[in-house]
Chain A
Amino acid sequence: MRLKILCVTAFLLSGFNLTEAAIRPPGTRPKAPGMHALTGGRVCIKPGLILEGATILIRDGRIENVLPQDQSSVPEGYRVWNMKGKTVYAGFIDPYYSSGKKAKPVSNRWVTPIDARAGVNFTGLPTTKEDMGKKGPGYEIAEIQPHYRVSETFTANPAGFEKLRELGFTAANFIPTEGIIRGSAVLSLLGEGDPNDLILTPKTTQHFAYEPGKEYPKSLMGVIAVIRQTAFDTQHYIHMQNWAVKNPNGIRPEYNPALQSMIKVIAGQGQKQLAIVEPGSVLMISRTAKLAGELGIDPVIVATGHEWRRHDILEKVNFPFIVPVNFPAIPELPDEEDWKEVSLDELRTWDWAPEVPALIAKGNRDMALTLHGLSDHKDFRENISRAIDRGLREETALAGLTTIPAKLTKSSSFLGTIEKGRVANLTVVDGASWFDPDNPVSSVWIEGRNYQVNTPKPVKKEKGKPEAPKGKHKPRVAKEPGDYRGAIGKPKNIIIRNATIWTCGPSGVITNSSMRVTNGRISAIGDVIGPVTEPDTVLIDGAGKHITPGLIDCHNHSMILGGVNEGTLPSSAMVRISDVVNSETENIYRQLAGGLTVANLLHGSANPIGGQNAVIKLRHGELPDDLVFKEAPLGIKFALGENVKQSNWGDEKKNRFPQTRMGVKTFFINRFTAARQYLEQLKPGDESLPPVRRNLELEALGQILTGDRLVHCHSYRQDEMLVFLRTMERFGVQVGTLQHVLEGYKIADEIAAHGAGASSFSDWWAYKFEVYDAIPYNGSLLHERGAVVSFNSDSSDLARRMNLEAAKAVKYGGTTEEDALKFVTLNPAKQLKIDKWVGSLEVGKHADFVIWTGHPLSTQTLCEETWIEGRQYYSRSYDAKRSRLIALERTNLLLKAREKEGKEQVSDSARAAFFRRAMEMSHSLNNCYQCRKEKP
């Protein structure tokens, strides 16, 4: 007799082959009988429902019935297992398990600014199939392999499975581990047997990871661009197939298994394959939310452990999360001095970590737990109990091990609860709860078969190192970063009186004057400002003070996440800085403290056509998308000269086109011709033509041709700049700015006549051969000849004193003080075409201004207050307090940490994890990997 199994995946539940003889030949071990009764235990049917003393009947691998205590007389014929004193849960499921060595969290260790190489055979044409990476058909980028299936090579790992069973796991979703779009996972039992028997569902979830590689994409923004392009390619693939049906004699569509597999991910129509995304950083969680909407994917997020940095992101996204519990532990450092170098951020991460699961679970979010990222399984239960200590409900945690992973792997109909008809997967623990790590798992049941578990011996407590008493973890000391960010004041009205106002507008410098701000806009400037009667008005006495517009930096890389260059390909027009604005770096505050309010975040100069830039306002504390200067036109970074021809990249790197200035021009002509043709193709036309593939690179270049995107071109030598201007003129394009433009003074008239802005260093020179002729008079001379000149920083440090850079235009070449100040206010605003809103103090413009203690061009002057749109983001008096509080927080955290030193029963890998750095912080701390080799 066999049960009739009503389940979509019933055919997979092998081992019950109806035609196979029940009796095996002599010499083989006979199959164990399939009828069991587990009696007298505490049965947790599902999270929140416990039946004390219930009896579970198992028959042929399925739960036949669950009898409550009062009617729990066991029917005849069942083998009885006494569960008294034990608790029985539905078998645990890990939704994100990888057995291979590569189960590392996403990192950006390959991301560097300029050290990059193109795909071997990249020709600079719209698509290339030569760089397939792997054999066989597929996507042009090897990291995109959604067609890969873990099931194809899946084999049981008896020793590994036994370790998982020791923790109570009975099934796991085995994930792919390589690439960006990685392929489909397989759901398998963790029992003994061959793969055919063990696999429950061969294709469950699809997997994404924002993991830059060694070739394109080598940056985080490149990863996002590639995902975006893949989704559009999939749409095109679908359109082509439909078109081919209608046009059987037309162009034969390609076969692309990668795009074929993506169809279910982006266009499943209710039956979409879930996309499990490993974002690698907390900001990329909100980016994923945006992408999900744009591309039509259903994401599940793998938590980074850094979610505490931005509670608001968690509040904004409602996706399910899979949460690793790889909490860092206090490291053992060789001596006292080494402790001094432990950063506040590391201490905060450590102190917050156990609280992160509770934070994520807030608001009834679906949350699963995983072993992923945990090098040592022994930490698993201990860490979950720490998470419970810090607010995670036990019920939620249990759901995270049972019902939620079942839901995410679409196996709720046969896994996750102890109910009639479910696969008989059970986790049995001694005592009342699995969540007390001292209660050993005594056995697990997998598809009705009992597996005894080797109870690990309790760790011997070392003498003199008493363990911290359980359940008494000290409350959190760490603050939220948000506590020290954001506007300090946001009054409705501001009135400044008696100040010297550098308007940078037609009114020039007006002394002993006043300015009024209403609702973030400048509402009046001049001697007569009405009476101060309105409520919510801040009155500032400006006696002795100077007021200038907020400073604007036309060339800045300080707030970019995961690499400033996608320098692999000669054109990376498809990558967008706006995808990777880093709102978390302390650089924002530091630059605000120097009076900076607007920054043009540019892609690097590693390739002739770089990525799309983002103009931002330094609204400290806001999320990346809210930093973006909404009104600013789109732009893109281009570059000429030594960097793009790889002159200083080392001797091996000399095979990417272009290698000469001749080639640079050739390349531009090629790309703009392609872009022009692309625009032609997009025009509505003959229905019988095959659908056009949306090409994000050419789309961006096309926007340049239509005047919708400004070009900011890194350039040094006069000849290359002139050639570039002429080339662009040929395509009817006016260049937005020449960046660096260090030999601009040699062709000042031509630059002025073309109308390109000149955004220069004040006085950098001689760092490369092409800047041997750079002179500090460049700005003044260009200005004299009628070009719109700005001074920029290209340096996170220099951006903190752009007013002093402006003073160098007075020193070198005698630009007037008023005009010199415009080099860092109105002129960069004009160059970025945002002067309608910022750059000068005029009625109607944004109230972005700085209060200085004295003359803005004097080295003795300090920035006293920085305001953006009527909100105060920096004040010197608040800064002193802020610094003290931050230092105090570290002192307190260090005290707490040192108490734990050497007392925690954790693995060495947990201790090493203490120094795992959030991507967002990689620029703000010591030993910044990324800054080391940066060259302008």
Chain B
Amino acid sequence: MKELLLLVGITLAAQGELILYECAMIHTADQPSIRNGQMLVRDGRIIKVGTEINPPSGTVKRDLGKLHLYPGLIAPATSLGLTEINAVRATQDTTEVGDFTPDVEAWISVNPDSELIPVARANGFTHVLVAPMGGVVNGTSGLIRTAGWGVEDMTVKPRAALHIWWPTLSINTRPKESLRDPEKYKSPKEQSRKREEKLREIDRFFDEAEAYAKARKADKNLRIVPAWEAMLPAINEKQPIMIHANYERQITSAIKWANKRGYKIIIASGLDAWRVADQLAKSKVPVVLDNVFRLPQRDTDAHDVNFKAAGVLNKAGVKISHSVRMGSWGATEIRNIVYAAARSMAYGLPREAALRSITLNPAQTLEVDGMLGSLTPGKEATFIAVDGDIFDIRTNVKHMWIEGKEVALKSRHTRLYDKYRKRPKPAAVKGAE
């Protein structure tokens, strides 16, 4: 039943074939948008983008009429493929146990036939980062395409980032008697000690990882330890470390930690990121936001505080991307990431920046912008055609191409819709009329 990769037109099958896509507007994401634009593609690569391209003879023209072209959308922190149904435990592969499990690899467990994947694809998502949950230093994520026969051909970038779930540093101030289990009460002082310990634990773990890296370089016969091996890219090769943190003090402590140790980090979730926008900009830390559609957390917050956050960060010079919350619920909602960007746009994020926040910025943040993220000659021909403004809920994605190949936008949802739209009026109802 799974309809996945669909090759469109036999002409495409031929290697070296040139295809010219013509449409009402090309939104390149890195250059100004082009009205009545053309895009020349060969072997899954963009050759040219412009208005008056003179293609060599033999070029196949594809007239997309009033459609708008956008780069394929990228969701830079998700549990897609690791979960099917929130309430059914057997379908969960999102969360591992143990505090320090850097050798856990999230993307390898993606179920390629998850019904959630085509649903995300249907609204323009060609790529998602699949990241692990649970623990503290809990593993690495991989960037996958949302179409393919199996994990191996879907994986675009394995080990794209190492993940840390930064410890909660807030104190639970609820008085003892109002706790469900008063025996578990810990005074602010005790909690303060605990949180410092947690931060020291992270430092200790990275100290040990660095020691291992050093020993590894010096001693060819050193016994391999998988967990420490998994830490090497972050330590030796500047693999980005995605730090999942929402609150101000978590974010500032993560920035301080990374600056001290010289690591490259990304802040994910980032509820309070806008409050420390300048610090983030100064340290050049990109942010992946997943809190636009969330109630304000403080009673002094304006009702629209989370709608405005992206605009504030962007203005301060922080590279922002939009994504969904990690876990099952978020995985079903990837299609709505576009509207988080759209809502931020209504509250001060410029249109170009909003587009980049779901295309080029996540590509740069995940260091795949050489191939993805914008409609730029030399990059992958991974793009979508929309019947209007992508930020308008009323529009629909009509076509999708990943590396030049057209991909079906059918899903469990369209299949069920098609089936039941055709249901004849039942006899019982007819009889009653």
- Return chain B residues, CB-CB under 8 Å to A647: 87
Is the pair A749, B426 in contact by a Cβ cutoff of 8 Å?
Answer: yes
Is the pair A109, B417 in contact by a Cβ cutoff of 8 Å?
Answer: no
Is the pair A590, B295 in contact by a Cβ cutoff of 8 Å?
Answer: yes
Is the pair A343, B175 in contact by a Cβ cutoff of 8 Å?
Answer: no
A646-661 interface code vs B (CB 8 A; 1 in, 0 out)? 0110000000000000
Of chain B, the residue at the smallest CB distance from A751 is B429
Partner among A775, A917, A925 whose Cβ is within 8 Å of the Cβ of B413: A775
Complex formed: what's the CA distance from A775 to B413 in Å? 5
Query: Is A804 an interface residue, CB under 8 A from the partner?
Result: yes
Of chain B, the residue at the smallest CB distance from A341 is B170
Is the pair B300, A887 in contact by a Cβ cutoff of 8 Å?
Answer: yes
B419-433 interface code vs A (CB 8 A; 1 in, 0 out)? 011010110110011
Is the pair B299, A344 in contact by a Cβ cutoff of 8 Å?
Answer: yes
- Distance between B387 CB and nearest chain A CB, rounded to angstroms: 10
A783-808 interface code vs B (CB 8 A; 1 in, 0 out)? 01000000000001110110010011
Is the pair B298, A926 in contact by a Cβ cutoff of 8 Å?
Answer: yes
Given contacts A773-B416, A811-B394, A859-B339, contact A766 B175 (CB under 8 A): no
Band of interface residues on A: 35 or more
- Return chain A residues, CB-CB under 8 Å to B179: 109
Partner among A331, A587, A921, A924 whose Cβ is within 8 Å of the Cβ of B173: A331
Complex formed: what's the CA distance from A343 to B302 in Å? 14
Interface of chain B, main secondary structure: loop
Interface residues of A in 570-613 (CB under 8 A from B): 586-587, 589-590, 593
Of chain B, the residue at the smallest CB distance from A777 is B417
Is the pair B296, A769 in contact by a Cβ cutoff of 8 Å?
Answer: no
Is the pair A753, B432 in contact by a Cβ cutoff of 8 Å?
Answer: yes
Is the pair A764, B332 in contact by a Cβ cutoff of 8 Å?
Answer: yes
Query: Is A858 an interface residue, CB under 8 A from the partner?
Result: yes
Of chain B, the residue at the smallest CB distance from A328 is B175
Query: Is A5 an interface residue, CB under 8 A from the partner?
Result: no
- Distance between B70 CB and nearest chain A CB, rounded to angstroms: 16
Query: Is B157 an interface residue, CB under 8 A from the partner?
Result: no
Complex formed: what's the CA distance from A865 to B275 in Å? 28
Of chain A, the residue at the smallest CB distance from B192 is A334
- Return chain A residues, CB-CB under 8 Å to B296: 590
B175-189 interface code vs A (CB 8 A; 1 in, 0 out)? 111111000000011
Partner among A772, A781, A861 whose Cβ is within 8 Å of the Cβ of B417: A781
- Return chain A residues, CB-CB under 8 Å to B395: 811
Interface residues of B in 155-208 (CB under 8 A from A): 169-180, 188-189, 191-192
Query: Is B211 an interface residue, CB under 8 A from the partner?
Result: no
Of chain B, the residue at the smallest CB distance from A375 is B177
Query: Is A857 an interface residue, CB under 8 A from the partner?
Result: yes
Query: Is A244 an interface residue, CB under 8 A from the partner?
Result: no
- Return chain B residues, CB-CB under 8 Å to A593: 303-304
Given contacts A110-B180, A775-B416, A859-B343, contact A927 B188 (CB under 8 A): no
Is the pair A766, B178 in contact by a Cβ cutoff of 8 Å?
Answer: no
Is the pair B171, A334 in contact by a Cβ cutoff of 8 Å?
Answer: yes
- Distance between A85 CB and nearest chain B CB, rounded to angstroms: 41
Query: Is B62 an interface residue, CB under 8 A from the partner?
Result: no
Interface residues of A in 305-355 (CB under 8 A from B): 331-335, 337-338, 340-341, 343-345
Is the pair A768, B346 in contact by a Cβ cutoff of 8 Å?
Answer: no
Is the pair A767, B332 in contact by a Cβ cutoff of 8 Å?
Answer: yes
Partner among B87, B191, B297 whose Cβ is within 8 Å of the Cβ of A926: B297
Complex formed: what's the CA distance from A843 to B170 in Å? 53
Query: Is A873 an interface residue, CB under 8 A from the partner?
Result: no
Interface residues of A in 89-141 (CB under 8 A from B): 104-105, 107, 109-110
- Return chain A residues, CB-CB under 8 Å to B297: 925-926
Partner among A807, A860, A917, A929 whose Cβ is within 8 Å of the Cβ of B345: A860
Complex formed: what's the CA distance from A746 to B422 in Å? 10
Query: Is B294 an interface residue, CB under 8 A from the partner?
Result: yes
- Return chain A residues, CB-CB under 8 Å to B173: 331, 914-915
Given contacts A857-B394, A916-B175, contact A769 B88 (CB under 8 A): yes
Band of interface residues on B: 35 or more
Interface residues of B in 343-395 (CB under 8 A from A): 343, 345-347, 391-395
Complex formed: what's the CA distance from A879 to B303 in Å? 9
- Return chain A residues, CB-CB under 8 Å to B247: 341
Given contacts A766-B86, A773-B416, A912-B176, contact A859 B392 (CB under 8 A): yes
- Return chain A residues, CB-CB under 8 Å to B177: 104-105, 107
Given contacts A810-B393, A859-B391, A927-B172, contact A753 B429 (CB under 8 A): yes
Query: Is A691 an interface residue, CB under 8 A from the partner?
Result: no
Interface residues of A in 849-888 (CB under 8 A from B): 857-862, 879-880, 883, 886-887
- Return chain B residues, CB-CB under 8 Å to A391: none
Interface residues of A in 6-32 (CB under 8 A from B): none
Query: Is B33 an interface residue, CB under 8 A from the partner?
Result: no
Complex formed: what's the CA distance from A924 to B295 in Å? 9
Is the pair B85, A766 in contact by a Cβ cutoff of 8 Å?
Answer: yes
Complex formed: what's the CA distance from A927 to B297 in Å? 9
Given contacts A344-B299, A749-B425, A781-B417, contact A860 B346 (CB under 8 A): yes
Query: Is B266 an interface residue, CB under 8 A from the partner?
Result: no
Interface residues of A in 811-865 (CB under 8 A from B): 811-813, 817, 857-862
- Return chain B residues, CB-CB under 8 Å to A766: 84-86, 115-116, 328, 332
Query: Is A174 an interface residue, CB under 8 A from the partner?
Result: no
Query: Is B212 an interface residue, CB under 8 A from the partner?
Result: no
A395-406 interface code vs B (CB 8 A; 1 in, 0 out)? 000000000000
Complex formed: what's the CA distance from A772 to B114 in Å? 12
- Return chain B residues, CB-CB under 8 Å to A913: 175
Complex formed: what's the CA distance from A861 to B343 in Å? 9
Given contacts A341-B170, A766-B115, A767-B329, contact A334 B85 (CB under 8 A): no
Interface residues of A in 708-753 (CB under 8 A from B): 745-746, 748-750, 752-753
Given contacts A775-B413, A777-B413, contact A340 B248 (CB under 8 A): yes
Of chain B, the residue at the smallest CB distance from A718 is B420
Of chain A, the residue at the smallest CB distance from B253 is A337
Query: Is B293 an interface residue, CB under 8 A from the partner?
Result: yes
Is the pair B293, A797 in contact by a Cβ cutoff of 8 Å?
Answer: yes
Query: Is A935 an interface residue, CB under 8 A from the partner?
Result: yes
Given contacts A767-B332, A769-B85, contact A859 B393 (CB under 8 A): yes
Is the pair A879, B302 in contact by a Cβ cutoff of 8 Å?
Answer: yes
Is the pair B336, A763 in contact by a Cβ cutoff of 8 Å?
Answer: yes
Query: Is A62 an interface residue, CB under 8 A from the partner?
Result: no
Is the pair B420, A800 in contact by a Cβ cutoff of 8 Å?
Answer: no
Query: Is B216 an interface residue, CB under 8 A from the partner?
Result: no
Given contacts A767-B87, A767-B332, A912-B176, contact A861 B346 (CB under 8 A): yes
Complex formed: what's the CA distance from A817 to B423 in Å? 25
Of chain A, the residue at the smallest CB distance from B426 is A749
Complex formed: what's the CA distance from A693 to B45 in Å? 80
- Distance between B236 CB and nearest chain A CB, rounded to angstroms: 33
Is the pair A768, B86 in contact by a Cβ cutoff of 8 Å?
Answer: yes
Query: Is B342 an interface residue, CB under 8 A from the partner?
Result: yes
- Return chain A residues, CB-CB under 8 Å to B192: 334-335, 338
- Return chain B residues, CB-CB under 8 Å to A642: 87
- Return chain A residues, CB-CB under 8 Å to B432: 753
Is the pair B391, A807 in contact by a Cβ cutoff of 8 Å?
Answer: no
- Return chain A residues, CB-CB under 8 Å to B92: none
Query: Is A890 an interface residue, CB under 8 A from the partner?
Result: yes
Is the pair A813, B417 in contact by a Cβ cutoff of 8 Å?
Answer: yes
Query: Is B249 an interface residue, CB under 8 A from the partner?
Result: yes
Complex formed: what's the CA distance from A784 to B420 in Å? 12
- Distance between A281 CB and nearest chain B CB, rounded to angstroms: 13
A756-785 interface code vs B (CB 8 A; 1 in, 0 out)? 000000011111110011011100010010
Complex formed: what's the CA distance from A748 to B420 in Å? 9
- Distance between B115 CB and nearest chain A CB, rounded to angstroms: 7
> 17 pairs across A/B with beta carbons < 8 Å?
A334-B192, A338-B188, A745-B420, A749-B429, A763-B335, A766-B85, A766-B115, A767-B86, A769-B85, A775-B412, A777-B421, A784-B421, A797-B295, A858-B392, A859-B343, A859-B393, A914-B173
Instruction: Using A105-B177, A107-B178, A768-B86 as known contacts, list a sample of 5 further A-B pairs with CB atoms less than 8 Å apart, ordered by residue number in A.
Output: A334-B191, A797-B295, A859-B392, A886-B300, A929-B180
